[in-house]
Chains A and B, each alone.
Chain A
C-alpha cells in the first residue's frame, strides 16, 4: 500500500488559520488576554496565510501529471493559490471592518474571531481542492461560520432572524450540492474532478442524464451560496439583519469560495460538457442580472440594495464563466478580486454610518452624508461607481474583461443583456449618491464610526489604481489557471 504524499506546505494557509483559531480559543480560556491581543493574533495568522499563499503562487509552476498532495485532496495550481490569496485578503479586510464590533463583544470576541478564522480556512480549502467531498467540507466549514456570524448580535433580533434564514436556506443549498455530487459519483464513478474529467474525455457516455442532473444540482447549490438568482432570496434579509461589521466579510467570502469552486468544476472536469452546462449558466446569469438590477430599484435600505447589487454582480461573473477554459478562470478571478474589495469597502462605510452592530441601514440615514462625513460619502461614491462599472474604476475593467471574454466565446446576446442591465443598475447606485450629496440630513447626529475608516480608503485606492493601470493585476489573473 502507498501512503499519500504529505506536503504540509500545500495546506499551509489553512493550517495557519486553523491553528490560529485554536490558539485564540485556548488563550481566551487560559490567559484571558484583552481583545486587541487576540485580534492581533488572528491578524497575524491571516498575514502568515497571505504570505504562504504568495509563496505557493510563486513556487507552484503549474505542471499537469504531477501527483497531487494528500492523495489528490488538494491541488497545487495557481487558481488555488490565487484563490486562497483572495479569500485571505477578504478575511483581513473583514477583520479590520469588524474590529470595533469584535472589541465590543467582551468575552465573546474570541468565538467570533475563531469563527472568522475557521470560515476563512473553509473557503480557502474550498477553492483549492479538486475533490468534491473535500469541496463540500470546505463549503460547510465556511458556511457554518457565516451562519453564526450573521446571528452574532444579541441586541438585534433581526440578527437572529437573519441567522436562522441563512442557516435553513444555506443548509438546503448544501444538501442540494451534496446530492448533486452523489449523482456525479453515480454517473462517473469518481469523486475527484481529475478522475471525472478523464472518464468524460475517454468514454462515449450514452446516457449522461444523471451527470447533467448532478451538475445542475451542483450549480444550483453553489448559486445559493453566491446569491445568484433565482436562488438569492436569502441575501437581502441576511445582509440587512447581520451585524454591519460582519456583513462585508459574509458577502465577499462566500462569493469567492463559491465562484472559484464553480469555475474549477466547470472548466476542468466538465469543460468537455460545456454544451450541457452553458444553457444552465446562461439562464442563471440572465436572471441574476435582470432580477438583481430591477429588484434593487425598489429597495429603501442600503444593505438590501447592496444585496441586490450582489445578485446582479453574480450574473456578471457568471457571464465570465461562460467564456470557458482559462479565460473563464482569469476573468472570474479578476472580477472577484475587484468586486470583493469594493463590497468590503462599501460595508465598512455602512458599518461606520449605521454602527457596526446595527441591523438595517435605511437610505434616509445617508441623506446629507457628504456634509456629516465628506470622507465616507466620497469613498462610498467611488465604490458605488466602481460597482456600477464606470470607466476609470476597476469595476469597468472587470466588466469589460467579462464582456469581451463572453463575446469571444460567442455569447454576444448575453453581453447585450449585461450592458443593458448595468444601465438599470446604475440607477440604484445613483440613488445612494443622490441621497448623500443632494439630500439634506434630517438630524445632524454624529456618526457611530468603526475606528477602521482606512478600509474604505484602501478599497477606493485599489478601485482607482486598478481602474487606471490594471495591467499588472490582469497579468496576475491570467495565470490563475486550474490544473
Chain B
C-alpha cells in the first residue's frame, strides 16, 4: 500500500479494531488505541525523514481513478505545506488519547471517533483532488460532532450542533465552488476534473474568480475561525473533552488556514491579491479581539479558546501578506500553535480532571502544591506568548517581519496581540499558581503523574527544538511556500515588498 494511503487507512482500521473489542473490558480501548495510533506516527516520522527538502513538487504521490467519468481520483501527495500538518496530526492523536483517561463511558466509541478523526484530518491535508478534499473536510465533522456531543460538558449538545451547522454551512458553499470549478474545467477542456493542478491551471475570469475565492474563503474562514465567524469556537472548546479540544485547536482549525494557503492562494491568485486588505483587517481584528476577550475570561479553557482566535489571526495575517517570510511564518505558526495550544488544553484538562472546575477563581497558589505542573504551564505559556528561544517566537516573528513591509498597519496593530498574549497568559498564571493556596481542595492536589509528564514532555521538547532550530521545518516548508508565491507572481505580476531574507533575520535573532 502506498505510504500516504496507509496513513489514511491505518487509523480507520485501528478504529474498527477498537470497536470490535469486548464491551466488558472497558479498560482496554484506551491503551490499545494509543498503541495503534503510534503506527501512523511512526509512518509520519518516516515520511518527514524521507521527504526531500529543496523541491516544491508534491512527493509520494499516489493516484487511482475513483470514478473516471466524473474525473475524480484518489489522489494524495505531500509538500512542504501539508507535511508539517500531517506530522502534527499523527503526533497529537496519541497524546490526546493518552490524556483521555477520564473518559469512562463508551470508551471504545470515543477512541474510535478520535482515530476516525485522525484519518479524516490526514486525508484532508494530503488530498490533491478537490472532491476527495471535500469528502475528508466534511467527514471529520461526524466524529468531532460525536466527540463534543457525547463526551462533552454540560451544554455539549448545543455546542455540538452549533459546531456542526456552522461548519457545514461553510462547506456547503465550498462544495458549490468545487463543482463550479469542475464544470468550468469541463467547458474548457471537455472533461470534468477535480485535480488540484488541473483546476489551478484554469483561466477563470476575474469576476468568477472573485466569487469562487469568496466561497472557498468563507468555508475556511469559518474553520479558522476568522473574526466575526468565530462564535462557534468557544462553545465547542469549552464543552469538548480534553482529547477533543486538543485535536480541535491543534489540528482541525488548521484545516482553515491550510485551505486558505493551499486552495485560495493556489487556485485564485488574482483574487488573493485583491483580498489582501479584507483578510488583513479581519485577521488583525481577530488578533486583538481574541486577545482582549481572553484577558477577561473567568474560565481557563475559554481563555485558551479565545487565545486561539488571536493566534490564528496571526497565521492569516502572515499568509495574506503574500511575502515569503509571512507565508513561512503562517505555515510554521500552524505547527507551533498546534503544539502549544494542544499542550495548554492538555494542561487545563489535567487540572479539570483533579478539581472538576476550570474557573480561574477556584484556584490560587497551585505552584506550591503542583510545582511540576506549574513549570509545564509556565513553559507552555512562554512558548505561546512568543518568548524568544521557544517555538511561538519564530512563527510570530516571521509573520510580523513578513507582513510589515506589505501591510505595515496590520503588522503594527498585530504586534499589540503579542503584548496582550503576555498579559492574559501571565495574569492567568499569576491567579492560578502564585501566592498561597487558600482553598482546602487546592491544598490536597497531587502533582503530575509520570503518565501525564510523558504526555506533556514531547510537546515541551518540540517547543524548545523548534524555537532553537526552526530550520528543520523551514527547510522543508520554504520551497513550497516560494512556489505558491511564484505562482501568484507569474499569474498576477504582484510582488509584495519583501524584508531581507528571513533566514538572515533568524540567524540574527537566534544567534
Interface residues of A (CB under 8 A from B): 385, 390-392, 396, 400-401, 403-404, 407-408, 412, 415-416, 419-420, 422-423, 426-427, 430, 434, 437-438, 470-471, 474, 478
Complex A-B, nearest 4 residue pairs according to Cβ-Cβ distance, in ascending order: A391-B135, A419-B172, A391-B138, A391-B139
Is A438 within 8 A of B172, CB to CB?
Answer: no
Is A390 within 8 A of B138, CB to CB?
Answer: yes
Name 15 extra pairs, CB < 8 A, besides A416-B173, A419-B173. A390-B141, A390-B142, A391-B138, A400-B131, A400-B175, A400-B179, A408-B183, A412-B176, A416-B176, A419-B175, A420-B172, A423-B168, A434-B157, A434-B160, A438-B150
Inter-chain contacts of A396 with B (CB < 8 A): 135, 138
Is A404 within 8 A of B150, CB to CB?
Answer: no
Inter-chain contacts of A403 with B (CB < 8 A): 175-176, 179
Is A427 within 8 A of B173, CB to CB?
Answer: no
Is A437 within 8 A of B179, CB to CB?
Answer: no
Inter-chain contacts of A419 with B (CB < 8 A): 172-173, 175-176
Q: Report the separation of the CA atoms of residues A401 and B169 in the bound assembly, to the nearest whole angstrom.
A: 20
Is A392 within 8 A of B161, CB to CB?
Answer: no
Q: Report the separation of the CA atoms of residues A400 and B132 in the bound assembly, to the nearest whole angstrom.
A: 12
- Ordered by A's residue number, 13 sampled pairs between the chains whose C-beta atoms are within 8 Å are A391-B134, A391-B138, A404-B183, A404-B192, A407-B180, A412-B180, A415-B179, A423-B165, A423-B169, A423-B172, A430-B164, A470-B67, A474-B69
Residue ID in chain B nearest A419 by CB atoms:
B172
For residue A473, give the distance in angstroms from its CB to the closest CB of chain B: 10
Is B161 within 8 A of A437, CB to CB?
Answer: no
Is B139 within 8 A of A430, CB to CB?
Answer: no
Q: Size band of the B side of the interface? A: 20 to 34
Inter-chain contacts of B165 with A (CB < 8 A): 423, 426-427, 430
Which of A391, A392, A416 gathers most chain B CB within 10 Å?
A391
Residue ID in chain B nearest A439 by CB atoms:
B157
For residue A329, give the distance in angstroms from its CB to the closest CB of chain B: 15
For residue A162, give the distance in angstroms from its CB to the closest CB of chain B: 32
Q: Report the separation of the CA atoms of residues A437 and B136 in the bound assembly, to the nearest whole angstrom.
A: 23
Inter-chain contacts of B175 with A (CB < 8 A): 400, 403, 419
Q: Report the separation of the CA atoms of residues A415 and B149 in the bound assembly, to the nearest whole angstrom.
A: 30
Q: Report the separation of the CA atoms of residues A451 and B66 in the bound assembly, to the nearest whole angstrom.
A: 38
Interfacial residues of chain B within 133-154, with CB under 8 A of chain A in the complex:
134-136, 138-139, 141-142, 145-146, 149-150
Inter-chain contacts of A415 with B (CB < 8 A): 176, 179
Inter-chain contacts of A471 with B (CB < 8 A): 66-67
Q: Report the separation of the CA atoms of residues A470 and B66 in the bound assembly, to the nearest whole angstrom.
A: 8
Q: Report the separation of the CA atoms of residues A276 and B161 in the bound assembly, to the nearest whole angstrom.
A: 42
Task: Evaluate whether A390 and B139 lie within 8 angstroms (CB atoms) in the complex, with A408-B183, A408-B186, A426-B168 already known.
Answer: yes
Does residue B182 face the partner (Cβ distance < 8 Å to A)? yes
Is B164 within 8 A of A426, CB to CB?
Answer: yes
Does residue B427 face the partner (Cβ distance < 8 Å to A)? no
Q: Report the separation of the CA atoms of residues A474 and B175 in the bound assembly, to the nearest whole angstrom.
A: 20
Q: Report the separation of the CA atoms of residues A392 and B182 in the bound assembly, to the nearest whole angstrom.
A: 20
Inter-chain contacts of B156 with A (CB < 8 A): 438
Is A427 within 8 A of B161, CB to CB?
Answer: yes
Is B135 within 8 A of A392, CB to CB?
Answer: yes
Inter-chain contacts of B142 with A (CB < 8 A): 385, 390
For residue A292, give the distance in angstroms from its CB to the closest CB of chain B: 16
Does residue B46 face the partner (Cβ distance < 8 Å to A)? no
Residue ID in chain A nearest B70 by CB atoms:
A404
Q: Report the separation of the CA atoms of residues A40 and B306 in the bound assembly, to the nearest whole angstrom.
A: 64
Is B172 within 8 A of A434, CB to CB?
Answer: no
Which of A404, A470, A474, A478 gathers most chain B CB within 10 Å?
A404
Inter-chain contacts of B141 with A (CB < 8 A): 390
* Interface mask (B100-142 → A, CB under 8 Å = 1, otherwise 0): 0000000000000000000000000000000100111011011
Residue ID in chain A nearest B165 by CB atoms:
A427
Q: Report the separation of the CA atoms of residues A423 and B175 in the bound assembly, to the nearest whole angstrom.
A: 12
Q: Report the separation of the CA atoms of residues A407 and B186 in the bound assembly, to the nearest whole angstrom.
A: 11
Q: Report the separation of the CA atoms of residues A385 and B180 in the bound assembly, to the nearest whole angstrom.
A: 24
Inter-chain contacts of B161 with A (CB < 8 A): 427, 430, 434
Q: Report the separation of the CA atoms of residues A400 and B182 in the bound assembly, to the nearest whole angstrom.
A: 12
For residue B476, give the distance in angstroms from its CB to the closest CB of chain A: 30
For residue B315, give the distance in angstroms from its CB to the closest CB of chain A: 26
Inter-chain contacts of A390 with B (CB < 8 A): 138-139, 141-142
Is B183 within 8 A of A407, CB to CB?
Answer: yes
For residue B236, give the distance in angstroms from its CB to the closest CB of chain A: 15
Inter-chain contacts of B176 with A (CB < 8 A): 403, 407, 412, 415-416, 419
Inter-chain contacts of A427 with B (CB < 8 A): 161, 165
Inter-chain contacts of B139 with A (CB < 8 A): 390-392
Q: Report the separation of the CA atoms of residues A427 and B158 in the bound assembly, to the nearest whole angstrom.
A: 12
For residue B221, give the distance in angstroms from its CB to the closest CB of chain A: 16
Inter-chain contacts of B179 with A (CB < 8 A): 400, 403-404, 407, 415
Inter-chain contacts of B168 with A (CB < 8 A): 423, 426
For residue B109, give the distance in angstroms from its CB to the closest CB of chain A: 9
Q: Report the separation of the CA atoms of residues A408 and B183 in the bound assembly, to the nearest whole angstrom.
A: 6
Q: Report the separation of the CA atoms of residues A126 and B145 in the bound assembly, to the nearest whole angstrom.
A: 43
Q: Which among B69, B146, B169 is the interface contact of A478 at CB below 8 angstroms? A: B69
Q: Report the separation of the CA atoms of residues A400 and B67 in the bound assembly, to the nearest whole angstrom.
A: 12
For residue B176, give the distance in angstroms from its CB to the closest CB of chain A: 5
Which of B165, B169, B175 gathers most chain A CB within 10 Å?
B175
Task: Evaluate whether A422 and B172 lie within 8 angstroms (CB atoms) in the complex, with A396-B135, A407-B179 already known.
Answer: yes
Q: Report the separation of the CA atoms of residues A339 and B361 in the bound assembly, to the nearest whole angstrom.
A: 53
Inter-chain contacts of A438 with B (CB < 8 A): 149-150, 156-157, 160
Inter-chain contacts of A391 with B (CB < 8 A): 134-136, 138-139
Q: Report the separation of the CA atoms of residues A423 and B165 in the bound assembly, to the nearest whole angstrom.
A: 7
Inter-chain contacts of B145 with A (CB < 8 A): 430
For residue A416, give the distance in angstroms from its CB to the closest CB of chain B: 5
For residue A407, give the distance in angstroms from its CB to the closest CB of chain B: 5
Residue ID in chain A nearest B174 by CB atoms:
A419
Inter-chain contacts of B183 with A (CB < 8 A): 404, 407-408
Q: Report the separation of the CA atoms of residues A423 and B164 in the bound assembly, to the nearest whole angstrom.
A: 9
Q: Report the separation of the CA atoms of residues A400 and B186 in the bound assembly, to the nearest whole angstrom.
A: 16
Interfacial residues of chain B within 257-296, with CB under 8 A of chain A in the complex:
none
Interfacial residues of chain B within 389-447, with CB under 8 A of chain A in the complex:
none
Q: Report the separation of the CA atoms of residues A400 and B165 in the bound assembly, to the nearest whole angstrom.
A: 19
Which of A385, A416, A422 gathers most chain B CB within 10 Å?
A416
Is A474 within 8 A of B138, CB to CB?
Answer: no
Inter-chain contacts of A474 with B (CB < 8 A): 67, 69-70
Q: Report the separation of the CA atoms of residues A392 and B69 in the bound assembly, to the nearest whole angstrom.
A: 19
For residue A432, give the distance in angstroms from its CB to the closest CB of chain B: 12
Inter-chain contacts of A426 with B (CB < 8 A): 164-165, 168
Q: Report the separation of the CA atoms of residues A99 and B172 in the bound assembly, to the nearest whole angstrom.
A: 40
Q: Report the separation of the CA atoms of residues A180 and B316 in the bound assembly, to the nearest whole angstrom.
A: 59
Inter-chain contacts of B157 with A (CB < 8 A): 434, 438
Inter-chain contacts of B150 with A (CB < 8 A): 437-438
Q: Report the separation of the CA atoms of residues A423 and B66 in the bound assembly, to the nearest whole angstrom.
A: 26
Inter-chain contacts of B172 with A (CB < 8 A): 419-420, 422-423
For residue A119, give the distance in angstroms from its CB to the closest CB of chain B: 35
Inter-chain contacts of A422 with B (CB < 8 A): 172
Q: Report the separation of the CA atoms of residues A412 and B161 in the bound assembly, to the nearest whole angstrom.
A: 28
Residue ID in chain A nearest B132 by CB atoms:
A391
Inter-chain contacts of B131 with A (CB < 8 A): 400
Inter-chain contacts of B149 with A (CB < 8 A): 434, 437-438
Inter-chain contacts of B186 with A (CB < 8 A): 408
Is A404 within 8 A of B182, CB to CB?
Answer: yes
Interfacial residues of chain B within 182-231, with CB under 8 A of chain A in the complex:
182-183, 186, 192
Q: Report the separation of the CA atoms of residues A385 and B175 in the bound assembly, to the nearest whole angstrom.
A: 17
Inter-chain contacts of B146 with A (CB < 8 A): 437
Q: Report the separation of the CA atoms of residues A420 and B174 in the bound assembly, to the nearest whole angstrom.
A: 11
Inter-chain contacts of B67 with A (CB < 8 A): 470-471, 474
Residue ID in chain B nearest A434 by CB atoms:
B157
For residue B453, give the distance in angstroms from its CB to the closest CB of chain A: 34
For residue A393, give the distance in angstroms from its CB to the closest CB of chain B: 9
For residue B151, give the distance in angstroms from its CB to the closest CB of chain A: 10
Which of B160, B172, B186 gathers most chain A CB within 10 Å?
B172
For residue B377, give the distance in angstroms from its CB to the closest CB of chain A: 32
